[in-house]
Amino acid sequence: MKPVSEKPEFSLQTLAIRGVGLIGGSIAKAARKAGIAQEIVGIGRDEARLQKAVEHQVIDRFETDSKTAASQADLIVVCTPVDCIAKDIVQLHGSLRPEALITDAGSVKEQIVREVCEKLGAKHRYLGSHPLAGSEKTGFEHSDADLFQNAAVVLTPEEQSSKNDLNFLEAFWKALGGKVSIMSPAEHDRALAATSHLPHLIAAALASSVSEDQLPLAATGFGDTTRIASGDPHLWTSIFCQNPNGTLAAAKEFQQQLNAFLEAVEAKDTDKINALLLTAKKRRDLWLNERENS
Amino acid sequence: MKPVSEKPEFSLQTLAIRGVGLIGGSIAKAARKAGIAQEIVGIGRDEARLQKAVEHQVIDRFETDSKTAASQADLIVVCTPVDCIAKDIVQLHGSLRPEALITDAGSVKEQIVREVCEKLGAKHRYLGSHPLAGSEKTGFEHSDADLFQNAAVVLTPEEQSSKNDLNFLEAFWKALGGKVSIMSPAEHDRALAATSHLPHLIAAALASSVSEDQLPLAATGFGDTTRIASGDPHLWTSIFCQNPNGTLAAAKEFQQQLNAFLEAVEAKDTDKINALLLTAKKRRDLWLNERENS
């Protein structure tokens, strides 16, 4: 991962968003606020929902015919669930103008890139993005123009990706407030397994390991530690199935840490327990400091 | 655990609090707000700190001589760290009037009860309490008169504890806003291991399993899941050392749940992953519903 230097101003004619939900809607609002697109077009199948998004001034207009929409766009951001992204990219790609680009907002990358390359060959016009922002809430009604302010955004170029496309996409996400870094798809999936996918699995396992009759004795500590277990099961099932190796590798690292704690507790080794807790506290405090000072 | 019926109004002459920090200070403020004590006396060693607590109107006055303080109190609440509680109870007990009672606010109970019985015999005047309320913050400066509003408070009578003492203590905590339940010390420690002690251990192990260079890719999900890992290592070391068996038993249950998840992820078994996530979500949502409707 390498930090990216400041970029100059950025604008484009037509920004198209496939999947106008929380993330897609927030991208639309952030782009409007930043004044970087002449028009913002929603692409989807549900005409009634898309019409509502127009009425809410999230998008300027919509297209339910993806060929028409793709042929007009300068940049398409695919914001559908991770198990639909590759299919949606391939479908839109057929009608894309040669200079236009497709990106996405999915939480996993390797499998999407693999499927895209299988279907479109190496010379495709897709370059992956992952903005690390979201919410328990869904739907464009909860979208937020400031969702990407100071949010990490990872771009995942492949070997054959062009520097021009990478610069273009960097400038796009920076205009939306994001802090861009660049990693390979594989590197991204390993890191996100540790920082996002495994925490979700652990929160879920922890929530399930407390019995119903013990719940009245669970306070805010339990509530915080398990909050993300309330997320959408379908969405997270797709994420785990797209990143099983990364998740299992991160779980191995976690289990080693947990075993060290449990051995120290079994031995009532106060010095060891204290040292382990202190290391954990320092790591957590470092995360908070970096976040607050960013 | 059994719910306890409504109690009539409650008052006492002298409420003494050993350890005027966040919890002790909050008990003092809550008792003052409820108007249940004629006077509230802080007991401790640090005269300057206690004087400040008087100036902040947390306590009415203080005693640094525990014998004097104990001889005047109707109820003493020991709010020192868990590894000091038994020692403090034994020390105060020697000067207690026969009708007065000592309780505490510790997060573990079995070992405290064992030590108290060893030192004072079965006919002691201690009956354990655990208010499930707290904060990352420490010191009476952060104390809050409403900290116990709707908070679960567990009373842990021993076999020889009198019904009168139990009723008295129930009425005390209810006057402070707590929702009282009654469990044996062993039952308490098992339940709290699952709902509080293990979540802390897991949050810490998770914080330590993310490397420093991955931290910029950790977002709010990681932040919530690891928040309690920022707690005081010394305080939590004492808790784990006082409840090793409960913690290890809860860890075994958690590891079974985690392994079920990992096996399903390794097999890319979408139905199984989805079912496990749904069970976890239901448990977490149930907790939130019970809490919001309480």
Give residue-wise pLDDT tens across range A39-48: 999 999 999 9
pLDDT score of B134: 76
Q: Is residue A135 predicted with pLDDT exceeding 90? A: no
Nearest chain B residue to A290 by CA distance is B216
User: Residue B141's Cα: distance from chain center in Å?
Assistant: 19
Residue where a domain terminates, one of A158, A183, A208:
A183
Nearest chain A residue to B259 by CA distance is A205
The CATH number of residue B230's host domain is 1.10.3660.10
DSSP state at residue A150 = T
Q: Which residue blocks in A73-162 are alpha helix, DSSP H?
A: 82-93, 110-120
Q: At B6, is the pLDDT very low, low, confident or very high (cuts 50, 70, 90)?
A: very low
On whether both B118 and B201 belong to a single domain, the answer is no
Radius of gyration of chain A, Cα coordinates, nearest whole angstrom: 21
Q: What is the pLDDT of residues B189-221, one digit of tens each?
A: 999 999 999 999 999 999 999 999 999 999 999
On whether both A216 and A278 belong to a single domain, the answer is yes
Q: Is residue A126 predicted with pLDDT exceeding 50? A: yes
CB atoms inside a 10 Å sphere around CB B213: 9
Residue where a domain terminates, one of A166, A183, A200:
A183
- Residues B217, A191: C-beta atoms closer than 8 Å: yes
Burial of residue B44, with CB atoms counted within 10 A of its CB: 0-12 exposed, 13-18 middle, 19 or more buried: buried
Q: What is the pLDDT of residues A173-206, one digit of tens each?
A: 999 999 999 999 999 999 999 999 999 999 999 9
Contact of B8 with B36, CB cutoff 8 Å:
no
Q: Residues A101-108: what's their mean pLDDT? A: 97
| ipTM higher than the 0.90 cut | no
Q: Residues A222-250: what's their mean pLDDT? A: 95
On whether both B10 and B139 belong to a single domain, the answer is yes
pLDDT score of B292: 87
Contact of A150 with A177, CB cutoff 8 Å:
yes
Q: What is the DSSP string of A154-207?
A: EEE--TT--HHHHHHHHHHHHHTT-EEEE--HHHHHHHHIIIIIHHHHHHHHHH
pLDDT score of A136: 67
Residue where a domain terminates, one of A135, A165, A183:
A183
On whether both A6 and A50 belong to a single domain, the answer is yes
- Characterise A10 by phi-psi region: left (phi > 0), alpha (psi -120 to 50), beta (else): beta
On whether both A47 and A136 belong to a single domain, the answer is yes
The CATH number of residue A118's host domain is 3.40.50.720
On whether both A27 and A106 belong to a single domain, the answer is yes
Please name the member of A194, A233, A257 whose beta carbon is closest to the beta carbon of B277.
A233
Joined together, the tokens standing for residue B120 give 């004072």
Joined together, the tokens standing for residue B53 give 């607590």
Chain B nearest CA to A94, separation (Å): 30
Partners of B194 on chain A (C-beta within 8 Å) are 209-211, 214
- Residues A218, B198: C-beta atoms closer than 8 Å: no
DSSP strand E in chain B: where?
Answer: 2-3, 12-18, 37-43, 61-63, 75-78, 101-104, 128-131, 152-156, 179-182
Select from A203, A164, A206, A161 the least CA-distant residue to A185. A161
Rounded CA separation A225/A206 (Å): 8
Q: What is the pLDDT of residues A257-294, one digit of tens each?
A: 999 999 999 999 999 999 999 999 999 999 999 988 87
Q: At B63, is the pLDDT very low, low, confident or very high (cuts 50, 70, 90)?
A: very high
- Residues B1, A236: C-beta atoms closer than 8 Å: no
- Residues B225, A222: C-beta atoms closer than 8 Å: no
On whether both A38 and A127 belong to a single domain, the answer is yes
On whether both A92 and A232 belong to a single domain, the answer is no
Full domain range(s) for residue A171:
2-183
Rounded CA separation B287/B294 (Å): 11
pLDDT score of B136: 67
Q: Residues A20-27: what's their mean pLDDT? A: 97
Select from B109, B115, B110, B108 the least CA-distant residue to B93. B115
- Residues A221, B199: C-beta atoms closer than 8 Å: yes
- Residues A286, B215: C-beta atoms closer than 8 Å: yes
Q: At A9, is the pLDDT very low, low, confident or very high (cuts 50, 70, 90)?
A: confident
User: Residue A235's Cα: distance from chain center in Å?
Assistant: 12
pLDDT score of A134: 76
- Residues B262, A248: C-beta atoms closer than 8 Å: yes
Q: Which residue has the higher pLDDT, A135 or B107?
A: B107
The counts of H helices and E strands in chain A are 12, 9
Partners of A287 on chain B (C-beta within 8 Å) are 207, 210, 215, 218, 222-223, 226
Of chain A, the percentage scoring pLDDT greater than 90 comes to: 92
On whether both A10 and A76 belong to a single domain, the answer is yes
Q: How many domains does chain A have?
A: 2
On whether both B151 and B194 belong to a single domain, the answer is no
On whether both B151 and B253 belong to a single domain, the answer is no
Q: Residues B226-245: what's their mean pLDDT? A: 95
Q: Is residue A20 predicted with pLDDT exceeding 80? A: yes
Q: Is residue A8 predicted with pLDDT exceeding 80? A: no
On whether both A212 and A178 belong to a single domain, the answer is no
Rounded CA separation A133/A150 (Å): 10
Q: At A7, is the pLDDT very low, low, confident or very high (cuts 50, 70, 90)?
A: very low
Q: Residues A48-55: what's their mean pLDDT? A: 97
Place of tokens 């129930």: B170
Q: At A2, is the pLDDT very low, low, confident or very high (cuts 50, 70, 90)?
A: very low
Q: Which of A226, A248, A290 to mutate to test the interface with B (most CBs of B within 10 A)?
A: A226
Q: What is the pLDDT of residues A213-233, one digit of tens each?
A: 999 999 999 999 999 999 999
Rounded CA separation B113/B178 (Å): 22
